[in-house]
Amino acid sequence: MKVLICCESEIILQVTGMALEAAGHQVALEREPHALLPHVQGAAALLVDAGRARQAPALLRDRGFTGRSLLVGEGAQEELARAAAELTLDGAVASPATDDFAQRFTAAVGARRRVLIVDDSEIVARLLQEELEAKGFEIHYAPDAEKATSIILKRQTRPDLILLDVNMPKVDGGQFCRFVKKNERFRSIKVLFCSGEDKEKVQRLVAECGADGFLSKGELLGKWIAENAG
């Protein structure tokens, strides 16, 4: 995995880098965020200290970084996690004072992924929510594009994946997908249509709107009935 590290402290910078390199990761170390810009391509994670946490993630995302942003520093893991939440980062990992740093880093990068369900049918949304929460995902729900927009605008609730209904009031799924895909701020969000429409029609819409794929509502409901009937 390619990891970007940006810390004011040269000690934390070098020790963190050595720990991750020893675990087989490719690392790029810099004290200033702009110096990491040439290394953005292919990077899956950013480790950043509190002093760089407001500038570095935004700067790198503007240049195409789509990975996880984690706070790194000295102190208790619980305190760092609270600070990361306040800074709207994706997680935190205490600096490598012990040999298990690489494992803790991997766990932080793979932490709970966030999914936004956008569907005017609460029944379908609940079925999806139950299925995904059982697999460890963090779920947010919006009945329409207006509410969904308010959710993705906030860094602390911005999802990794949107499950999007096609037919919705006011702004339909195709229009909302185009809005997401054309906005540089949301380039890391994947969009899957979730529809009961004809498969070929939805496939055309996926291609037209730049979505990442689709799920069939019919298959979802059929699976739920098979598992719960009788």
Tell me the pLDDT tens digit for each residue of 48-75.
999 999 999 999 988 889 899 999 988 8
The C-alpha atoms of residue 156 and residue 148 are separated, in whole angstroms, by 14
Write out residues in the chain with pLDDT < 50, as ranges: 225, 228, 230
**Cα dist from 140 to 45, 106, 114, 126, 222, whole Å:** 23, 25, 8, 11, 23
The confidence score (pLDDT) of residue 6 equals 96
Q: For 117-145, how does the pLDDT look when each residue is reduced to its tens digit (9 = 90+)?
A: 999 988 888 888 887 887 778 899 999 99
CA 75 – CA 100 distance, rounded (Å): 15
Q: Are 159 and 115 in contact (CB under 8 A)?
A: yes
Pairing mode of beta strands 91-94, 114-118? unpaired
Packing angle of the helix pair 122-133, 217-228 (nearest 10 deg)? 70
Contact between 210 and 178 under an 8 Å Cβ cutoff? The reply is yes
Alpha helices in 31-100 (DSSP H): 56-62, 77-86
pTM of the model: 0.57
State the pLDDT at residue 219.
64
What are the structural domains, with CATH classification, of the chain? Answer: 2-109 (3.40.50.2300), 114-228 (3.40.50.2300)
Copy the structure tokens of residue 107: 């766990």
3-state helix, strand, coil in the chain (%, to 5): 45, 20, 35
